[in-house]
Structure 1
Amino acid sequence: MKGLYFIAIVPPKEVAERIHQIRLEFAEKYHSEEALKPPVHLTLKEPFKMDVKDELILKRKLSFIATQHQHFKHILKDFDRFQKHTIYINAEKHPLLLGLKKGIKKTFRTNFYHVEQDQMPFNPHYTIAYRNIGEHIFEMAFADYESKNFYAEFECDEFILFKHNGKQWHNIEAFKLCGMPEITLFDQLVPEKEQKQLIKAS
């Protein structure tokens, strides 16, 4: 039996509510409700099908990934588009976010090679609207949102595995990012106070 899954970052409640309100306003104004179906999220692994019996193995692999990656400040800023089909909020390409995406991609390529692999370049974002928007409406809508500002930031300390139950997506497990920062020989030998003085002097 196959299950349908995807992996994502979900913002804290207050940020998610702000984004969802924008999605609702867009859907009402431009009659485009497709983006309302999934929860507010940033996709780390596109929806994929796999045997339900492999779900436990997947969770173990994702748990290991979480131990290898650190939490990070996640910044969301303003609006952009993909061609003529998607309007979204930009997410900053933090090196730790890119590393997390790379780790997940490598794990699937190595351990779940039978699962469809991501082909598109990673462009982190939060979708506002997509798919069922006519070209004329899309251009008008983007002209509206292009001139608007949006800013939010939060400490991203987990990612989520979602599973579809046939009607909607459900959060089935969260994985805490608990990797430790790399400690260099400089960090080990030079006290923090002296490090700051050296950095300031340079």
Structure 2
Amino acid sequence: MPVPANQALFFVALLPDERIQQEVTEFKQIAAEQFSSRHALKSPPHITIIPPFKLSNEEATTLPETMSVAASRLAPFPVQLQGFDHFGRSAARNRVIFVDVVIDEALRRCQRVTAEVFYQQLNVQPDDRPFHAHMTVAFKDLQRQVFRDAWAYFSQLPYEREFTVNALTLLKHNGQRWEVIFNAELGG
């Protein structure tokens, strides 16, 4: 997604605690070393709430306020991670492997409320795809011919964790990778 000089690329996410970030990063490193899928390493482990969007540099100055408004309408809530899954059942779409996230009403509400605030305050258009919370391990750079081996590896790993979401996190693309630039504490 090319970004003009007077704009920047952002997204809003939920980040797990440090231990889970380390564990999921290790999964990403396995995907990179054993299956040549490195793209997922360009961002910290996260659950996307608002997918990447462009804003002018002027509009971006209001992002902390917008994040705080959305966060103030939400209370901390638990998130469960349960095993691995992948997108698509056809060979043409099998390129993204992820840690699966149990989607419950609290997570749906978080996504819905945040999307509404971003649309109302910044005219960030809601994603037209259904919300499918996940933490990417191997991305679209996973070659189709390698997918079967990668999926055989990850699908057999047991992985169940839970963490409490306490903040919405804003990330900005620096031209190379995604960086955390702001956290808005939930409830306040």
TM-score if structure 1 supplies the norm length?
A: 0.83
Q: Which runs of 5+ in 2 are unaligned?
A: 1-5, 89-93
Give 4+ residue runs of structure 1 displaced > 4 Å after superposition: none
Amino acid across the alignment from 2:41: L
Does 2:152 align with 1:143? Answer: yes
SS at match of 1:79: strand
- Compute the displacement of 1:56 (Å): 2.9
- Aligned positions, number: 178
* Paired position in structure 1 for 2:164: 155
Percent sequence identity is 27
Q: Which runs of 5+ in 1 are unaligned?
A: 180-202
Amino acid across the alignment from 2:127: D
SS at match of 1:18: helix
The root-mean-square deviation of aligned C-alpha atoms, in Å, is 1.4
Once the two structures are superposed, the pairs formed by residues 112-151 of structure 1 within 5 Å of their partners are: 112-113=122-123, 115-151=124-160
| 8 Å Cα contact 2:67/2:168 also seen in 1 | no
- Compute the displacement of 1:116 (Å): 4.7
* Paired position in structure 2 for 1:10: 15
SS at match of 1:178: coil
Amino acid across the alignment from 2:66: K
Q: Measure the CA separation in 1 of the matches of 2:97 and 2:177.
A: 22
Q: Which residue of the other structure, out of 107, 111, 119, is the alignment partner of 2:117?
A: 107
Amino acid across the alignment from 2:181: I
* Paired position in structure 1 for 2:71: 66
Q: Which residue of the other structure, out of 31, 34, 42, is the alignment partner of 2:36?
A: 31
Q: Measure the CA separation in 1 of the matches of 2:140 and 2:174.
A: 22
Amino acid across the alignment from 1:123: H
- 1:85–1:13 distance in 2 versus 1, CA, 3 Å: same
* Paired position in structure 2 for 1:42: 47
SS at match of 2:132: coil
* Paired position in structure 1 for 2:25: 20
Alignment deviations for residues 67-95 of structure 1 (CA, whole Å, 9 cap, x no partner): 11110111111000002110000111121
Amino acid across the alignment from 1:46: P
Q: Which residue of the other structure, out of 82, 88, 94, is the alignment partner of 2:87?
A: 82
Amino acid across the alignment from 2:111: K
Larger Rg: 1
Alignment deviations for residues 148-169 of structure 1 (CA, whole Å, 9 cap, x no partner): 2101111111110111222322
User: Which one is further off, 133-142 or 74-83?
Assistant: 133-142
